[in-house]
């Protein structure tokens, strides 16, 4: 660190600072000793004069009696040579260079001594008074000798510094409150990063940033949202997800290369800041862009137990062990190869197990569900994979979701869906109206389903959220998506006859009732909506308005948020625009955006 040493700035390490402190303490002790020596000599000088007067008391009294005035008496006392007698050893002990004995053993009084003699009280002339003067003079003489020895020895000065530091420690020292343990050298920067939930935003042009999750507050469905990212006219947000600061992230590029980074290393920003250009953080080539981003479990030891499923925009699938991506170099590594000229690229990458199903959905509203085991585990990372869905011309896959597999026949699925729909309608009926007889019949357990089977299916049921680019969405039961073999054309995931009204599909993924979702438009608008406010509907319906988009505006990204809002963050702002009522955003817009 830079510090002032001797009035001059110096670059000092810990050893330099300790040396400077010790030198300072030595200087303090030396200057203090010189001060005490000077004070002791001044007092001893006066006492020597009094001792000379006591030793020559008769001559002193005679001189004072014959003097016409005090000034003359003082002058006569100073000009006369007085025999030192028994005082000579004390004068030598004091060793004052300013006042020494004459060669004939006499002593000349100074003005200070003469004044002290004239002011001497007669009581000091008694034997007791003379002994007090002698005792004090001997004591001061010992102190002067000690001071001279200290000034003549640096070791004595250092011993005094040590003694005083030990005294300060004894009086003011407190026990260490932090424990020192082994393992300190193994710490790195990541150990000092606090664990915090972050909203990671990625734009079409490749700008990325992270914003604390509590910056955003919930709105009811139909609100217009708040500004979530400052973008250029030709740029828009394409990916948004929530992850912990210690979560590893894999970035899959259009060339099939995977890169790895921790969330805390991403640039932090405000809801309206643009972020940092990812090309400045990762060694991407000129025409290479990130097409899929996958957060991973923090514990890399658990990666060997999981598989990773790849899907492409043309419906190609591949399954690998997640442990294949434990070590990713700074320059990245090959994740998947594509046929030349196919125009295919990685769409999504997710972890899965053999007890899961894969749900693929296309932009024009087709979907297919098949078991993970339909796709074998590939040993290498450079294969092209196998077909997952037969994509029609002009269509492309927009999402891949991983669902839990449940063995159920078509009759069981149909019976359960009818029962669950009637049960939800009955729960929404007003108490004064009660439940209709038709609902009671549908709620009743079907002949081919026992109450235990219904309870089992209800426990394993998942709900799939489907969102279109004009802000429409719905929740559908996972049993509404039948399991088939991979490679087919699939079934309807929405009302395809109303594509012009609701737009093409942009996301399909499983959600829970206490989840929230965050939607981002191509204009950078963001809205956070509770899932329980979105209606249940059949997979072949268009759904309800979730995000009221403006003319020419489209939803480009939807992300599930598993952390619910606090009660204090659920207050309704009656002045919010849109079909639903909005919430005042918790954070203010930032005045400037960081440089990319």
Rounded to 5 degrees, what angle do the CA atoms 456, 461, 466 make? 170
pLDDT band at 576 (very low <50, low <70, confident <90, very high): very low
CB atoms within 10 A of CB 510: 17
The CATH number given to whatever domain includes residue 49 is 1.10.268.10
Strand (E) or helix (H) holding 92: helix 88-94
The answer to whether residue 594 sits within a structural domain is no
The answer to whether residues 425 and 288 belong to one domain is yes
**Does residue 591 register a pLDDT over 50?**
no
Give the residue-averaged pLDDT of 129-148. 82
In three-state form (DSSP H/G/I as H, E/B as E, the rest C), the secondary structure along 497-528 is HHHHHHCCEEEEEEECCCCEEEEEECCCEEEE
pLDDT band at 587 (very low <50, low <70, confident <90, very high): very low
Residue keyed to tokens 């309800």: 544
CB 272 within 8 A of CB 229: yes
Both tokens assigned to 147: 């001071």
Measured CA to CA, the distance from residue 445 to residue 434 in angstroms comes to 20
Burial 229-261 (b: 16+ CB within 10 A, else e): bbbeeebbbbbbbbbbbebbbbbbbbbbbbbbb
**Does residue 571 register a pLDDT over 60?**
no
The answer to whether residues 21 and 85 belong to one domain is yes
The answer to whether residue 48 sits within a structural domain is yes
Average pLDDT of the residues of the chain: 81
Q: What is the pLDDT of residue 186?
A: 63
Q: What share of the chain is helix, strand, coil (3-state, %, to 5)?
A: 35, 25, 40
CB 584 within 8 A of CB 217: yes
Please report, for residues 148, 551, 568, the alpha-carbon distance to residue 145 in angstroms, rounded to integers and kept in the order given.
Answer: 5, 99, 78
> What does the pLDDT look like over 392-447, one tens digit per residue?
988 999 999 999 999 988 888 888 998 888 888 877 664 444 444 445 544 444 55
How many Å is the maximal CA-CA distance in the chain? 145
> What does the pLDDT look like over 514-541, one tens digit per residue?
888 888 888 878 888 899 889 999 989 9
Q: Which of 180-194, 436-450, 560-574 has the lowest mean pLDDT?
A: 560-574
The answer to whether residues 76 and 13 belong to one domain is yes
The answer to whether residues 211 and 163 belong to one domain is no
Max mean pLDDT range (121-125, 197-201, 214-218, 289-293): 197-201
The answer to whether residues 233 and 105 belong to one domain is no
What is the number of residues in the chain? 596
The answer to whether residues 166 and 210 belong to one domain is no
Q: Which of 144-153, 200-209, 474-483, 542-551 has the lowest mean pLDDT?
A: 200-209
The answer to whether residues 139 and 206 belong to one domain is no
Domain that holds residue 166: 2-171
Among 347, 371, 349, which residue's Cα sits nearest to residue 359? 371
Question: pTM (2 decimals)?
Answer: 0.57
Measured CA to CA, the distance from residue 142 to residue 245 in angstroms comes to 70
The answer to whether residue 104 sits within a structural domain is yes
491-492 and 366-371 beta bridge pairing = antiparallel
The answer to whether residues 202 and 135 belong to one domain is no
Measured CA to CA, the distance from residue 130 to residue 132 in angstroms comes to 5
Q: Which of 141-145, 354-358, 496-500 has the lowest mean pLDDT?
A: 141-145
CB 275 within 8 A of CB 357: no
The answer to whether residue 187 sits within a structural domain is no
CB 197 within 8 A of CB 246: no
CB 273 within 8 A of CB 590: yes
Among 421, 457, 417, which residue's Cα sits nearest to residue 439? 421
Give the residue-averaged pLDDT of 98-117. 81
The answer to whether residue 304 sits within a structural domain is yes
CB 246 within 8 A of CB 190: yes
The answer to whether residues 150 and 206 belong to one domain is no
The answer to whether residue 552 sits within a structural domain is yes
**Does residue 12 register a pLDDT over 80?**
yes
Q: What is the pLDDT of residue 124?
A: 66
Residue keyed to tokens 């619910």: 564
Q: What is the pLDDT of residue 578?
A: 35
Both tokens assigned to 151: 């000034």
> What does the pLDDT look like over 253-291, one tens digit per residue?
877 888 988 899 899 988 888 889 888 888 888 778 787
Query: How does DSSP assign 485-496, residue by residue?
Result: -TTS--EESS-G
Q: What is the pLDDT of residue 336?
A: 84
Give the residue-averaged pLDDT of 439-462. 73
Among 51, 36, 52, 42, which residue's Cα sits nearest to residue 132? 51
- The dihedral region occupied by 593, where left means phi > 0, alpha psi between -120 and 50, and beta the remainder, is beta
Q: What is the pLDDT of residue 592?
A: 38
CB 281 within 8 A of CB 264: no
The answer to whether residues 122 and 267 belong to one domain is no
Measured CA to CA, the distance from residue 219 to residue 572 in angstroms comes to 8
Residue keyed to tokens 């309807």: 492
The answer to whether residue 575 sits within a structural domain is no
Q: For the sheet with 397-404, list strands across it.
A: 397-404, 356-362, 366-371, 491-492
Q: What is the pLDDT of residue 125?
A: 66
Give every CB contact of residue 237 below 8 A, 6+ residues apart in sequence: 201, 202, 203, 204, 228, 229, 231, 520, 521, 522, 524, 526, 556, 557
Q: For the sheet with 237-244, list strands across it.
A: 237-244, 197-203, 207-212, 276-277
In three-state form (DSSP H/G/I as H, E/B as E, the rest C), the secondary structure along 145-214 is HHHHHHHHCHHHHHHHHHHHHHHHHHHHCCCCCCCCCCCHHHCCHHHHCCCCEEEEEEECCCEEEEEEHH
What is the count of structural domains for the chain?
Answer: 2
**Does residue 486 register a pLDDT over 80?**
yes
Q: Which of 92-96, 194-198, 578-582 has the lowest mean pLDDT?
A: 578-582
Give every CB contact of residue 477 below 8 A, 6+ residues apart in sequence: 417, 420, 461, 462, 463, 464, 536
Q: What is the pLDDT of residue 183?
A: 58
**Does residue 358 register a pLDDT over 90?**
yes
CB 117 within 8 A of CB 53: yes
The answer to whether residue 393 sits within a structural domain is yes
> What does the pLDDT look like over 164-176, one tens digit per residue?
999 998 888 888 8
Among 518, 503, 433, which residue's Cα sits nearest to residue 472? 503
Q: What is the pLDDT of residue 138?
A: 82
> What does the pLDDT look like over 30-58, one tens digit per residue?
999 999 998 988 888 888 888 888 878 88
The answer to whether residues 132 and 209 belong to one domain is no
The answer to whether residues 293 and 419 belong to one domain is yes
Q: What is the pLDDT of residue 174?
A: 85
CB atoms within 10 A of CB 357: 21
**Does residue 595 register a pLDDT over 60?**
no
CB 346 within 8 A of CB 292: yes
Residue keyed to tokens 């290479």: 288
**Does residue 505 register a pLDDT over 90?**
yes
Q: How far is CA 53 from the centre of its chain?
A: 81
pLDDT band at 373 (very low <50, low <70, confident <90, very high): very high
Q: What is the pLDDT of residue 429?
A: 62
The CATH number given to whatever domain includes residue 265 is 2.120.10.90
């Amino acid at each position: 660190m830079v510090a002032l040493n001797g009035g001059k700035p110096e670059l000092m390490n810990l050893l330099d600072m300790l040396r400077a402190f010790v030198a300072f303490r030595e200087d303090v002790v030396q200057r203090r000793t010189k001060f005490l020596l000077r004070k002791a000599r001044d007092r001893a000088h006066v006492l020597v004069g009094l001792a000379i007067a006591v030793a020559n008391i008769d001559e002193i009294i005679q001189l004072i009696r014959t003097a016409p005035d005090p000034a003359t008496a003082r002058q006569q006392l100073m000009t006369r040579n007085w025999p030192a007698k028994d005082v000579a050893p004390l004068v030598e002990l004091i060793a004052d260079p300013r006042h020494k004995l004459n060669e004939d053993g006499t002593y000349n009084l100074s003005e200070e001594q003469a004044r002290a003699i004239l002011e001497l009280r007669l009581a000091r002339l008694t034997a007791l008074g003379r002994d007090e003067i002698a005792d004090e003079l001997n004591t001061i003489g010992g102190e002067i000798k000690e001071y001279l020895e200290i000034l003549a020895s640096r070791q004595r000065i250092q011993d005094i510094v040590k003694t005083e530091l030990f005294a300060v420690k004894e009086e003011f020292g407190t026990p260490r409150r932090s424990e020192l343990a082994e393992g300190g050298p193994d710490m790195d920067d990541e150990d000092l990063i606090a664990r915090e939930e972050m909203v990671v935003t990625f734009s079409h042009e490749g700008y990325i940033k992270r914003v604390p999750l509590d910056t955003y507050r919930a709105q009811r469905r139909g609100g217009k949202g708040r500004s979530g990212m400052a973008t250029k006219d030709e740029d828009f947000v394409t990916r948004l997800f929530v992850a912990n600061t210690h979560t590893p992230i894999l970035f899959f590029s259009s060339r099939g290369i995977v890169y790895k980074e921790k969330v805390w290393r991403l640039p932090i920003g405000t809801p309206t800041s643009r972020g940092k250009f990812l090309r400045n953080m990762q060694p991407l080539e000129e025409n290479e862009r990130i097409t899929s981003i996958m957060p991973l479990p923090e514990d890399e030891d658990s990666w060997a137990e999981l598989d990773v499923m790849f899907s492409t925009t043309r419906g190609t699938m591949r399954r690998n062990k997640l442990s294949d991506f434990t070590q990713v170099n700074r320059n990245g590594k090959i994740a998947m190869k594509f046929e030349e000229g196919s125009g295919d690229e990685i769409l999504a990458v997710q972890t899965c197990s053999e007890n899961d199903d894969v749900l693929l959905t296309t932009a024009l509203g087709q979907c297919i569900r098949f078991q993970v085991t339909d796709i074998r585990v590939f040993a290498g990372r450079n294969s092209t994979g196998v077909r997952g869905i037969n994509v029609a011309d002009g269509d492309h896959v927009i999402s891949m979701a991983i669902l839990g597999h449940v063995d159920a026949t078509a009759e069981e699925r149909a019976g359960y869906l009818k029962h669950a729909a009637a049960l939800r309608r009955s729960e929404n009926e007003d108490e004064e109206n009660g439940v209709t007889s038709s609902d009671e019949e549908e709620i009743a357990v079907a002949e081919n389903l026992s109450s235990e089977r219904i309870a089992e299916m209800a426990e394993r049921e998942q709900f799939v959220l489907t969102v279109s680019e004009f802000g429409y969405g719905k929740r559908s039961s996972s049993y509404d998506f039948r399991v088939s073999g991979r490679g087919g054309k699939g079934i309807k995931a929405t009302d395809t006859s109303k594509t012009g009204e609701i737009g093409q599909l942009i996301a399909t993924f499983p959600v829970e009732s206490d989840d929230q979702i965050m939607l981002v438009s191509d204009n950078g608008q963001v809205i956070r909506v509770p899932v329980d406010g979105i209606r249940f509907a059949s997979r072949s319906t268009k759904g309800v308005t979730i995000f009221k988009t403006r003319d020419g505006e489209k939803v480009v990204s939807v992300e599930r948020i598993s952390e619910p809002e606090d009660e204090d963050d659920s207050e309704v702002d009656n002045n919010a625009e849109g079909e639903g009522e909005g919430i005042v955003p918790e954070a203010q817009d930032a005045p400037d955006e960081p440089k990319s």
